Amino acid sequence: MSRSDNNQAPGPLARLVALAQLEHADLWLKFLLALVGLALAFAAALFSTVSRESGNVWATLILASAALILATLVGLTTVPHLARRVAVKTLRDAVDYEVTRAGIIYVIATLLIGIAALNTGNNLLYIVVAAMLAAILVSGIVSALVLRDLQLDVRLPEHVFAGRPVLGRILLRNPRTRLPSFSVHVVPSKRKKAVSQWLWEPATFGFPPKRPPEQQWVRLPDRRVRRIVHDGSTPGIFDGSAYFPYVAPQTELSADLELRFQRRGRFAENSFGLATRFPFAFLTKTRRVPLTRTVLVYPRVEPTDQFLDILPMITGEVEAFVRGRGYDLYRIREYMPEDTARHVDWKATAKSGSLKVREFSREDERKMRLVFDNPAPGVLASDAYERAVALAASLAWHFANEDADLSFAAQGYQGERDIYKFLSYLALLEPQPQASIIDTLAVTGDYNIVLTTRARGTVPTALWNCSYLIFLADNVSPPRVPKTGVPEKLLRARS
């Protein structure tokens, strides 16, 4: 390399590093000058006290004025500069303080001993008060050193269902080369206070009130008052904490935290906190870390009693529909109790003397479409609406695990066949005043499972022969006798 190459101007990165070093040097210079100025002001104040006791009025006036002027100069030159530095700082350097019960007792004891020292003039009490105040100062400095430069990472699972516990992992790294950290808690960010609000919303007055909508004598437009409680932010991810008693230098520790979400929706944390009470537990110092994490919680997929009741009916209808679409005869076999009578081969039965059934080659083909007709606001109560969403999610999850050729349809849904895309859609779904999807639903070769709040007479006739209709307003009662021959007693119990 030539000499001219060594004498080239520094690059942009080197210039930025040099500017940062100069900025830090300027900051330290201002800090040292402020300390010197405050020390001189303190000395002038002490000498002014001595001069006052000796009776020298002019010396007292000059020294007191000098102390006041020095303190004012330090405040005008250093404090605004540090304030601008603090304003430019990111959330990473924001620290919250919370006085503990032990800290309150300790401060009260310090004040009492200080009052006793002032009243008695006992030097030993002054020494005790100074030592106690020094302990508070040392506690603040050490706790700040414990939290400084710690790096936090929170890892959450990709797929989360409401009501099911999942494990999240918290990683805490100490990048320092020599200084360890002690007694560190990882805590969520502070929540905003809840605010309640009363809102008028449209409703329908029906009489008699406990009957289904189509059986009520009177239905009139009405309005009702509903209380809404919101805090203006997205619900948090967790309310607990993870504890790390000791984090050695240049090490990374992890802790698993169990999370459980009781409802569907989007949960987020915009920041986390690193808290410590080390060393004396006078204060809980929390350094906020700007780390954004979001979790999308799917609806519940536990098989409820209602789901277990209708699942055999749906499965039986799908099986009968699929078997009816077979064209190629695969074999003739012995009749089994679960076989339907429509597949009995009477000629083979007459020849052999025992019941024979036909089995088709396309018997295992399953092309299904789950349709969720999202109702308008006020059609279903909030609890009934959540049960309907959970039922749609449970049906989708069940048939997806059965290796069915499953598709989905709903208002605003783009038609992806991915089960997790549909569960994400259901996770954020709310009642919307929009047209029913049944009016625009194309009849294809798929077997439809339709969840709707529409009246039975308004469903197109073309859907009845290739669909299982679940009327949500009727507490999920079956619309007709399924093709699989469900016992009549069960049908009467559910109708």
**Where do the domains of the chain lie?**
20-88, 151-191+233-296, 305-325+365-494, 329-363
How would residue 378 be classed by pLDDT, with cut points 50, 70 and 90? confident
Query: Residue 460, SS3?
Result: coil
161-175, 285-299, 399-413, range with the lowest pLDDT = 399-413
Q: What is the pLDDT of residue 121?
A: 77
Is 273:287 a contact under the CB 8 Å cutoff?
A: yes
Given pLDDT bands bounded at 50, 70 and 90, which one contains residue 246? very high
Least confident of 117-121, 129-133, 257-261, 465-469: 465-469
pLDDT at 490 > cutoff 60: no
User: What is the Cα–Cα distance from 3 to 171, expressed in whole angstroms?
Assistant: 49
Mean pLDDT value of segment 12-24 = 51
What is the pLDDT, as a whole number, of residue 137? 87
Q: How far is the C-alpha of 242 from the C-alpha of 157, rounded, in Å?
A: 17
pLDDT of residue 360: 60
pLDDT band at 248 (very low <50, low <70, confident <90, very high): very high
Query: 332 pLDDT exceeds 50?
Result: yes
Evaluate if residue 391 carries a pLDDT over 90. no
Q: What is the CATH number of domain 151-191+233-296?
A: 2.60.40.10
Phi then psi for residue 158, to 5 deg, are: -80, -40
pLDDT given for residue 8 in this prediction: 45
Helix (H, G, I), strand (E, B) or coil at 61: helix
Confidence of residue 406 (pLDDT cuts 50, 70, 90): confident
3-class secondary-structure state, position 106: helix
Could you give the CA distance from residue 210 to residue 37 in angstroms, rounded to a whole number? 81
Question: Which residue would you say has higher pLDDT here, 86 or 164?
Answer: 164
Look at 122 and 362; give whichever has higher pLDDT. Answer: 122
277-310 pLDDT per residue, tens: 888 888 888 888 888 888 999 998 877 666 666 6
- The alpha carbon torsion through 3, 8, 13, 19 (nearest 10 deg) reads 110
Q: In the predicted model, is pLDDT for residue 462 greater than 80? A: no
Give 2-47 as a DSSP string.
Answer: -HHHHTSPP-HHHHHHHHHHHHHHHHHHHHHHHHHHHHHHHHHHHH
How high is the mean pLDDT of the chain?
76
| DSSP-derived 3-state class of residue 135 | helix
Looking at 241-245, 298-302, 327-331, which range is the least confident one? 327-331
Lowest-pLDDT range of 104-118, 181-195, 251-265, 278-292: 181-195
pLDDT at 174: 93
Integer CA distances (angstroms), 48 to 39, 42, 56, 406, in order: 14, 10, 9, 89
Task: Give the per-residue pLDDT at 203.
Answer: 75
Give the range among 63-72, 91-100, 116-125, 258-267 with minimum mean pLDDT: 91-100
Mean pLDDT of 406-428: 86
Strands of 43-180, DSSP E: 95-99, 151-155, 160-161, 166-174
For residue range 128-154, list pLDDT tens digits in order: 888 988 988 888 888 888 898 899 999
pLDDT of residue 2: 42
DSSP secondary structure of 296-330: EEEPP----HHHHHHHHHHHHHHHHHHHHT--SEE
Judge whether 396 and 423 are in contact, CB under 8 Å: yes
Query: Both tokens of residue 320?
Result: 């009968």
Q: What is the CA radius of gyration of the chain?
A: 37
Instruction: pLDDT band for 26, please (50, 70, 90 cuts).
Output: low
Query: Residue 172's pLDDT is what?
Result: 93
Query: Is residue 253 scored above 90 in pLDDT?
Result: yes
Contacts 24+ apart (CB under 8 A), 431-436: 431/374, 431/375, 431/376, 431/377, 431/378, 431/379, 431/380, 431/385, 432/374, 432/376, 432/377, 433/376, 433/377, 434/374, 434/376, 435/411, 436/373
pLDDT of residue 233 exceeding 90, the answer is: no
Placement of tokens 């040292």 in the chain: 32
What size, in residues, is the chain?
Answer: 495
User: What is the structure's pLDDT at 401?
Assistant: 80
Tokens 């079956």 — which residue? 478
Alpha-carbon gap, residue 154 to 291, rounded angstroms: 8
Give the pLDDT score at 7: 45
- Report which of residues 25 and 209 the model is more confident about: 209
Residue 20 reports pLDDT greater than 80: no
Residues ≥6 apart with Cβ < 8 Å to 243: 183, 184, 185, 186, 255
pTM recorded for the entire structure: 0.60
Task: From 66, 67, 81, 105, select the one nearest 31 (Cα to Cα).
Answer: 81
